[in-house]
Each structure stands twice: as C-alpha cells, then as structure tokens.
Amino acid sequence: MSEGARYGFIGLGVMGEPICRNMLTKSGAPFTVHDLNPDPVARLAAKGARAAVSIAEVAAAADTIFLSLPGGPQVEAVIAGPGGLLERGRAGQTVVDTSTAPVGLTRDLAAKLAEKGIRFADAPVARTRQAAEDGTLSIMVGADEALFAEIAPMLRHAASDVTLCGAVGCGQVVKILNNMVLFETVVALSEALALGEAAGVERRHLFETLSKGSADSFALRNHGLKAMIPDLFPTGAFPTDYALKDVSYALDLARETGFEVPGAALAEARMKAAQAAGHGKAYFPVLARVIGRKDGA
C-alpha cells in the first residue's frame, strides 16, 4: 500500500460492502465510496468513508479504484460509459475489478484504460457471503507482477488467499472455471439427492455419509448440507440469475477457445429450469428442486 494513497470503491452490494468495509477498517486508508443504493454508502460513511454521489467524484478523489459490480454490462458501463472511468479518470490511476466479468471484455477494457495511462487488474473473488464478511475470501488476480505487488496488501484485508494467476484476464479465467466446477458439482449433488431419496435413503444421512468419503467437497458441505438438505434457498445470497450469468461466461470462454463443455451446458440447463420455475432470485442450489421432476416445479 503506497504511503498517502487514496482509495475509491464503486459497487457496495452483497460482496462489495463487506469487502470495502474490511479494507477501510483494517487499513485505515481514506476511501471514497459510491453505490446506487444509499444505504451501504451511509453505513460505510459511518465507519469513516467519504460518500460520493457519482463515479466522477470517486475518480477525482482516488488513486486506486476498486469495483464490485453484478457483471460485465455494469463493469463496462462504469468504465467505458458516459461519465465513467475512461472519461473521468487520469493517467497514473489504477482500477481493480473484483467483479466477475467476461475475459474478452476484461482485456478490452484494460487495453482502453492503458491507452489513457490507467493501470488495470482483474481480481474476482470466490467463496461465500460469510467469507466476505469475515475477510476470508479467495481473490484471483490478473495483472503484471509489479502491479500485483502494489495491490495485494489491500486485497489481503478482504481475503485469506490472494493469488496472481497471470496477466490481465487470467484472474477472470480462474474465477469463471472455479464457478463452472462448483455449478457442475451442485448439479451432481442434486442428482445424487434425487436418486438417493427415490431409493429410500434419508437425505441428510446420504449427504453426511458422502462427506466422509471421496465424494466430499466444499459444495457438499456448504451448498449441499446447509441449503439443499434443509431445502432453504434465501434471496440475498448468490441467486440463480447471477449463477446463470457466470456459467454463460464459461460457455463463452469454451466457444472462444474451441472446446465443448457439456457439463457446464447441463448446469446452465438446470439453472434455466429453476429460473423458469420462478426461482431466479433464490440461492442457486435451488436447482435441486427441478432435478428429476418432469413438470419442472
């Protein structure tokens, strides 16, 4: 962290607010924050952040600007849209995007920022909302080594694991594949749950026993035992709509690289069935409710 550096944070949603709060309170550095929702802005202002009413105000106040946004369209709008960071930023600034966004878009925006003398790193985050609260996320970074060395200390206030994955875009590649594997695992757990129950095995007994064998996984212990077994899929967690966006990025990456990924395509189909059944806002393991049911209800 550079002496006297000033920081900005745009996007204070489910993950962004706790990420920013951990950075703010642990570093003691000055932060200027902005979100379309005034409530998290007010909460962070109460902890010492300066509230901003626009992207331009953040750009004027900060040397390094972190983003935490829902997806590619929002990242593109904040960076390249009217009044965005390309228009309002200045040479010497750094933009660090903790959102999950398409690899091609990430590299295109990085190139446009570089033309203006603004450095860019993609730093998408993994693990749960609770991990964001606790500051124990995993952050996968795409950047050159010099920039990584500069931003890693601040990222470590929000994460227990901060990993340089390669050049710009590589953080997004690793995050997208992380989610692809997670989604496919949840589909497999859903199928096991449906088959086990149909064959007479009590659902919790099934998953608790699987967790003692080679089928054990983070997905089983968290998404399986904590959501699928009690059949609890709250809103405000990682919803089906967002999961569909992320799996679409994996499928886009497969097309761009010339690979077929039928497991990811199946996960997308299960999520679309859950969405069609009215579960778009529910925590995405709700796809378990549509596994093996002919009516998709």
Which residues does the annotation mark as catalytic?
A: 175
CA distance 217 to 210: 9
Least Cα distance to 125 among 11, 1, 285 occurs for: 11
CA distance 39 to 170: 33
- Tokens of residue 278, six digits: 């009215």
Q: Report helix, strand or coil for 97.
A: strand
CA distance 102 to 33: 24
Name the phi and psi angles at 105, rounded to 5: -65, -45
CA distance 62 to 28: 15
Least Cα distance to 63 among 154, 124, 106, 2 occurs for: 2
116, 95 contact by CB (below 8 A):
no
Least Cα distance to 286 among 244, 240, 243 occurs for: 240
35, 13 contact by CB (below 8 A):
yes
- Tokens of residue 228, six digits: 């699928």
183, 271 contact by CB (below 8 A):
yes
CA distance 9 to 50: 10
The burial class, CB within 10 Å (0-12 / 13-18 / 19+), for 210 is buried
